[in-house]
Amino acid sequence: MDKSSPRQVEIVKYLKSLRDTICKRFEGMEQSGERFQREDWLYAKGSGGGEMSVLRAKTFEKAAVNWSGISGDQFPMKDGQGAFFASGVSLITHMSNPKAPTVHFNIRYIETEESCWFGGGYDLTPMGFEFEEDTKHFHAVAKATLDCHGAELYPKFSQQAKEYFFIKHYNKERGVGGIFFDHFHSGDFEKDFSMWKSVGDSFLDTILPIYEKRIDLPFSEEDRKLQLARRAHYVEFNLLYDRGTKFGFESGGNPKAILCSMPPLAAW
């Protein structure tokens, strides 16, 4: 496999630009003036690596916006796939204000000797304080984005999010949903690439209006305790069920980067 094909170069360029845009917009919302701290890592089992961007501050108690681009001789999640290339951006926020929800976003591209596909999505997780207008806004942006690429996509991806972001031991969804897709490959690469980029480009539109309304709301110590308890559920999902976490570890990725999704504090 050509590890630096024009297609791969274009995808990495897009992902890094998106990462930079998101970091800049989050920094513009951060009230302390703090900035993301970046740290590079190298992929030990092949070539490439990634870059962690982590913000620990006043508005964003913790935000991580990570990029990775790796290749190796054996795809880790399925026998017989041979050499692979994988690149993506993964993002998580844990807000200081309990009334501002956690948001997760990820888009990725994977290429093996046998096939290539896109994956990703975004989902919203209130930390004990669900506002119906926020949920409606989040889903409305997702639907409008996907409707431009096919009326069937939003219902399908929304249902897949309900099924994927489900905490089995509590028998409930992790949050209020969003969109999720994996192994997406219609046979028309350019069409799929366009849809994938639209998901990436729409992410900030889903969450920034919500944060603008919630980050300055008053909250109590009891609100904070509820937030920390809900964060515990988030930890449990990521460690027990999340396929991205499993892929990261099984592919020999950087543990620090893989576990950037963990909240700074949680309570059981």
Is 66:50 a contact under the CB 8 Å cutoff?
yes
124-163: pLDDT as tens digits: 999 999 999 999 999 999 999 999 999 999 999 999 999 9
Q: Whole-angstrom Cα distance, residue 116 to residue 185?
A: 7
Structure-block tokens of residue 85 = 């290339």
DSSP state of 101: P
Kindly report the three-state secondary structure assignment for every residue of 198-263: HHHHHHHHHHHHHHHHHCCCCCCHHHHHHHHHHHHHHHHHHHHCCHHHHHHHHCCCCHHHHHHHCC
The reported pLDDT for the residue numbered 79 is 57
Which of the residues 104, 137, 139, 233 is marked catalytic?
104
Q: Whole-angstrom Cα distance, residue 181 to residue 164?
A: 9
pTM, two decimals, is 0.94
13-56: pLDDT as tens digits: 999 999 999 999 999 999 999 999 999 999 888 899 999 999 99
Annotation says 139 is catalytic: no
Strands (E), 7-115: 37-42, 47-55, 60-72, 84-95, 102-112
pLDDT band at 80 (very low <50, low <70, confident <90, very high): low
Q: Whole-angstrom Cα distance, residue 111 to residue 94?
A: 31
DSSP string of 178-199, one letter each residue: EEEEEEE--S-HHHHHHHHHHH
The class (CATH top level) of 6-261 is alpha beta
